[in-house]
Amino acid sequence: MKRRNLPTLLACVAVITLGAGCENGPHLSREDQIRLLMTRNRDLAETLLAAEKRVADLQRSGATPAPAKPPTDDPFRPIAVRFGKHTGGLDTDGAAGDERIKIIVQPLDAEGDVVKRAGRLVLEALEPQGDGKPHKPYHRWELGPDALAETWIGSLGIRGYVMKWPWPGGRMPEGETLILRATFTTLSGEALVAEAEVAIVKPPAPDAETP
């Protein structure tokens, strides 16, 4: 909802409520009813502004909230998805360089809390080319609801779908960053998208042979 429509919305709420009466209407004076409506309108305005702030915070974190839909009976319906902060290259042997990639995907409800919800996940990894060139496809993973459910972790300070994969075909990305794009599709068909750039630690180049 655009903010410029807020005064109109509040006016409509006031008119509708005045026409239909309000709680304890017969016991309140006209002035008290108006004050009550003004209080409710102010509360509604604050709620809408808080919702706008939550959406802005999600977008700054790389999440793309789903288009607004009519309210449902599910207060924990995911409306966005994001990558966990430990997403990126993973060193498993203690030597210089990452041997795997670790990806954490977290569905979020309207309050910004991570929720465990079933769905289908498509992950795309792209290699930046620089100079305004399009990203080069690196790899693509797809997990259905059953396979995705097996990756859920809800302990040890981690909450989300966690995947740790070796580099596809044993080939590391050419650069030191990857662009990751996640599309999480809920069982009701809502597609939630997030994108992030993550760091990759390359192993040191082998020493040149002495002639």
Report pLDDT for 11. 45
- Residues 86, 109 contacting (CB under 8 angstroms): no
Report pLDDT for 15. 42
Kindly report the pTM of this predicted structure.
0.64
The beta-carbon contacts of 22-30 under 8 Å, at least 24 apart in sequence, are none
**Helix or strand (DSSP H, E) at 120:** strand 119-127
Report pLDDT for 132. 82
Report pLDDT for 204. 86
Q: How many residues does the chain have?
A: 211
Report pLDDT for 32. 65
User: What is the mean pLDDT for each group of 10 consecutive residues in the chain (211 residues)?
Assistant: 42 43 54 70 74 72 62 80 95 91 96 94 94 91 97 90 96 94 95 96 71 48
Report pLDDT for 137. 95
Sequence ranges of the domains in the chain: 3-60, 65-199
Query: Cα Rg for the chain, rounded, in angstroms?
Result: 24
Q: Is the domain defined by 65-199 classed in CATH 2.60.40.10?
A: yes
Q: Give me the residues paired with residue 80 across strands.
A: 108
Q: Dig out the tokens for 161 from the structure.
A: 């779908």
Give CA separation, 84 vs 156, 162, 164, 181, 194, in Å.
Answer: 14, 9, 13, 13, 11
Report pLDDT for 72. 57
Q: Dig out the tokens for 113 from the structure.
A: 């809390």
- CB atoms under 10 Å from CB of 19, counted, come to 7
